[in-house]
Structure 1
Amino acid sequence: MNSPNILLLITDQQRWDSLGVYGAPEAQTPNLDKLASEGIRFDQCYCNNPICTPSRASLMTGGELPDHGVMQLEDVLDQRQMMFPELLRQAGYKTALFGKQHVSSRVIEHRERHPNDGFDTYQWCHEPAIHTGSAFNGYAKWLKEKNPNFLQELGEKGRRIGHFPNELHATRWTADATIDFLNEQSGGDTPFLCIASVFDPHDPYDDYPKEVAARIDQTKIRKPIPRSDDSTLPKGILLERRMGYMARHPQDEADIHDLRLGYHASISFIDEQFGRILKTLENADLKENTIVIFTSDHGDMLGDHGLMAKGAFFYDPCTRIPLLIRWPKQIKGNQHTNAFVQLNDLAGTIVEAAGISTPLRKQFLPHSKSLLPYLTGQNICPPRNTAICAYRHTGYGNSSKGSQYIPVSATMLREGDFKLCLYHDEANDDLSAEGQLFNMTADPYETNNLWNIQEYQATKRVMIQTILDWIDKREGGLTRFQSDRIPT
């Protein structure tokens, strides 16, 4: 067998600095840290959008935000779009999904599959507490066999159920199902793509097995980055802070500490279960020819800058995500790079590693930059000089009238030492460009906004023009701002 197997491990809402290998003092992640030591760690990986659906659509199609048409949380991926597993399936791979997909609205996904998702085995679970009656819900079927009383309780209480038992946790189910699949591949000649996609550490933050909390040294839990003066913030961030779906969440010091404890406990449990999966690769004699990729769809603010979860802001805790890749046949191990990469680059990387022809990759994945040269030890220029993250009225708020999208459009550019965040739509009712500019080398916590500092105006103008060019090329002039209106 020449084509490598692919094992893609995905978490939900996991910020980059939540693993020991990324320097998190409170992290208990020995298995993922070991995975990094055996492969390559990407230190500057950014999502394409800081909300689940558009971000995952970018991952699965290889497209940047405008390319696939999924802009908002409840958008639906067009049926003509091709997901990269379909390309692998057509190339002879056996393909499987266990867990969350979310390239379209969950309301659609629980009723019907995307015709080009490409999975031979499809055991879906959007979130453990909802859509338990879906015909695709593998977790609910598993629970019905193991403990029907708990399944009923879960249906009645939903997210209010609190701590899940270890043996009934959705992350445990994902690991068990993945392990069964891997064991079935042992000794076979057909390459496989297996995606294990868990819902945690997404809120609610108290769904981890209760005993796992003892692993976390609470004295090492970091305090949040202080809240910025509201007068320095763009209207879009202020609107998100007031209207975001977690805006009413308590933000006193004790509450933030508790949710951070739950967050890291969930990650520790994920690490344990993913560790079981990685051990199975070894036991099934699949490790050497399997590319293992670990990542997430976006991050979580956890109270940093006075913000919760995710939304119309581009601070690193929200947009920068972990990315670890191991390929024993190619990567020596203990490597890392500061090159800019984005979540949608994984599609092109996987498809090229599978040996799919260049014309097909260019046809279906024109904006996905392959990371394969990093995995094969070639000395090349970085695939990207910049990273762009776009928010287009993406997430809904906490209105009592139901899901209402927050009217904010904004775009982030990460280039060189700098990050620029441009807010350019309805939130700015006076049509004046607002934003943030940070020197990420000198100010990694993003506390010193250089937007109005005179010596950085030239940098600001060039970066804004780069954003406007990107918008014009991909979205047909969505923004109402022109370069001659950029304040100096």
Structure 2
Amino acid sequence: MTGRPNVLVIQADQFRWDCFGAAGNPDVETPALDSLAADGVLYTEAFCPLPVCTPSRYSLLSGRTVHQHGGWTNRSTLAPGIDTFPRALRRAGYRTSAVGKMHFTPTYLDVGYDCMVLAEQHGPGRYDDDYHRDLRAAGLAPVVDLLDQEEHLRGSAAPAYWTTYGTGRSDLPEAWHSTTWIGERARHELDAWTDDGGQLLHVSFIKPHHPFDPPAPWDERYDPDALTVLPGWTEAIPDQDQRYGNEYFGYEGLTEAALRTAMAHYYATIGQLDHQVGLLLDRLRDRGLYDDTLVVFTSDHGEYLGFHHLLLKNGPMYDPLAKVPLVVKFPGTRASRRDTSLVSLIDVAPTVLAAAGLVPADPLPGRDLADPSQSRACVFAENRHGPAAFMARTATHKLLAYDDPALDAFYDLAADPCELDNRIADPACEELIGELRDALANWVLFDTPPPVHLDERAPTIDAPNVPPRDPARHAEHRHWFAARATESAAHPDFAPWRG
């Protein structure tokens, strides 16, 4: 083994924890992730700290909870003075790079990466990043993605977009799809690795985040009628979730047939992602670097995918949303083990630092996943989308506490794994509910969350691919993509959504 292990962090976006083969999914084909799990540890009870992209990503990088780092929304900046594992590795002499979706403000925010090659999706980053500059140079626009993600363009989408819940074939060829673009540039970064260790690469895919738009031929990979509907699907939105029935789409009209079509395309985007992961791991093996590399695969949050008749991610912190896939292959070992202990994405930073032989600059609340002596009885999460919400979850029970106590919920997961029987008012549960409320109170002070930290002028990396901070350039770039999207959407032959 080399003196210092390499680190490869592979991150997906909106990846439901049970949607790959090693996690028990009966339909989706993920040979690369299954192989990685066979060489490492599959954590079956891993949770994100907040089920929104940027806050969760800042927690993964910093090893801190969201109420500690203050990045509450997708439009926030990691506050100065908060250390990250990329910064710590860079100080220790590591070569650090990132490829794909980071979702920072500003786009090329310096969190410790020497090099960043970005492919963004939501917000201003789309009009700064490398991917969209490459698309524009080729005369291409990701129309399906623009119509789904840009609020001012959604009205241009055809009726089929709404009835299929935005699921269909990408208008881009596979070679230009974000998953392929990210995978190719990540392999280019791996090709620059030397044989003496001390390198970090963070690869972050946009998918399987909506829209569920795999390119051809991936979009035909799964027959919707042959798929197994996942646990938790209900024929209608339960009364407890009615207030979320019109988030992003109107889910009251979601039929099982429409859900199956969404699942087929969601699985296809996962299959395409898995293919690119396989190419990355093969590149490590071909270079003789695989065994000496710490490999982490995870996601920033989950996806309902029909749970309680919902799609996407706006709603309560039920397990399909709060749980994430987590596989860790430690350097020098091939464990092939399932770990059912409660873990969190805040554990990734201390795990990476420990593998590199480094000590955090400040104490972190997470734990080194390689140390079996460390464990927790309860895992926590929080959310600021809508009413403030907090989750305290043990191996068998879950408390969801809101700033409006009338919304509170308590579930006995052993008897009710689909979280349909709210027992918050059950006298038999009063003692356990009180214990979880106390645990939450000890975890965070409810009435003093830090404000969202946003600094569009924060330091960015110094690299030739970082565009100047020019509002006129940004606006012109945005206008070009909007014009292409509306023009394409109005064309009678543009029909990417399949019913």
Normalised by the length of structure 2, the TM-score is 0.80
1:183 counterpart = 2:187 = no
**8 A contact 1:16–1:22 mirrored in 2:** yes
> 2:460 is matched with which residue?
none
Structure with bigger strand share is 1
Alignment RMSD, CA only?
2.6
**8 A contact 2:83–2:361 mirrored in 1:** no
> 1:109 is matched with which residue?
106
1:210 counterpart = 2:216 = yes
Task: Pick the aligned partner of 1:336 from 326, 335, 338.
Answer: 338
**1:274-293 mapped onto 2 (5 Å cutoff):** 274-293=277-296
Q: Which has the higher contact order (CA 8 A, sep 6+)?
A: 2
Q: Which amino acid aligns with 2:379?
A: A
Task: Pick the aligned partner of 2:393 from 414, 421, 424.
Answer: 414
> 1:46 is matched with which residue?
47
Distance between the aligned counterparts of 1:191 and 1:475, measured in 2? 43
Distance between the aligned counterparts of 1:476 and 1:51, measured in 2? 20
> 1:400 is matched with which residue?
none
**1:158-173 mapped onto 2 (5 Å cutoff):** 162-173=170-181
**8 A contact 2:4–2:356 mirrored in 1:** yes
CA deviation string 1:94-114 (max 9, x = no partner): 011001112x4xxx333xx32
> 2:437 is matched with which residue?
464
Change over 3 Å in CA distance of 1:229–1:255 after alignment to 2: closer
Q: Which amino acid aligns with 1:412?
A: M
**8 A contact 1:50–1:299 mirrored in 2:** yes
**8 A contact 1:312–1:391 mirrored in 2:** no
> 1:376 is matched with which residue?
none
Corresponding residue pairs, total: 429
Change over 3 Å in CA distance of 1:337–1:156 after alignment to 2: closer
Distance between the aligned counterparts of 2:203 and 2:343, measured in 1? 22
Distance between the aligned counterparts of 1:444 and 1:229, measured in 2? 17
Classify the secondary structure of the residue corresponding to 2:289.
coil
1:241 counterpart = 2:245 = yes
Task: Pick the aligned partner of 1:121 from 112, 115, 118.
Answer: 115
**8 A contact 1:296–1:322 mirrored in 2:** yes
Distance between the aligned counterparts of 1:132 and 1:419, measured in 2? 37
Structure 2: unaligned runs, 5 residues or longer: 150-156, 158-168, 451-499
**8 A contact 2:144–2:170 mirrored in 1:** no
Classify the secondary structure of the residue corresponding to 1:413.
strand
Change over 3 Å in CA distance of 1:275–1:289 after alignment to 2: same
Classify the secondary structure of the residue corresponding to 1:32.
helix
> 2:488 is matched with which residue?
none
> 1:198 is matched with which residue?
205
Change over 3 Å in CA distance of 1:190–1:35 after alignment to 2: closer
Task: Pick the aligned partner of 2:139 from 149, 156, 164.
Answer: 149
CA deviation string 1:40-75 (max 9, x = no partner): 100100000011121111111111110000122323
Report the Cα offset of residue 126 of structure 1.
1.5
Distance between the aligned counterparts of 1:169 and 1:73, measured in 2? 23
Task: Pick the aligned partner of 1:324 from 317, 321, 327.
Answer: 327
**1:249-288 mapped onto 2 (5 Å cutoff):** 250-288=253-291
**8 A contact 2:96–2:115 mirrored in 1:** yes
Segment of structure 1 superposing worse, 305-314 or 214-223: 214-223
> 1:369 is matched with which residue?
367
Structure 1: unaligned runs, 5 residues or longer: 374-379, 395-405, 479-488
Q: Which amino acid aligns with 1:241?
A: G
**8 A contact 1:95–1:194 mirrored in 2:** yes
> 1:485 is matched with which residue?
none
> 1:15 is matched with which residue?
16
Task: Pick the aligned partner of 1:345 from 325, 329, 347.
Answer: 347
> 1:33 is matched with which residue?
34
Report the Cα offset of residue 286 of structure 1.
0.8
**8 A contact 1:413–1:419 mirrored in 2:** yes
Report the Cα offset of residue 214 of structure 1.
3.4
**8 A contact 2:302–2:324 mirrored in 1:** yes
Report the Cα offset of residue 124 of structure 1.
1.5
Normalised by the length of structure 1, the TM-score is 0.82
Report the Cα offset of residue 8 of structure 1.
0.5
> 1:401 is matched with which residue?
none
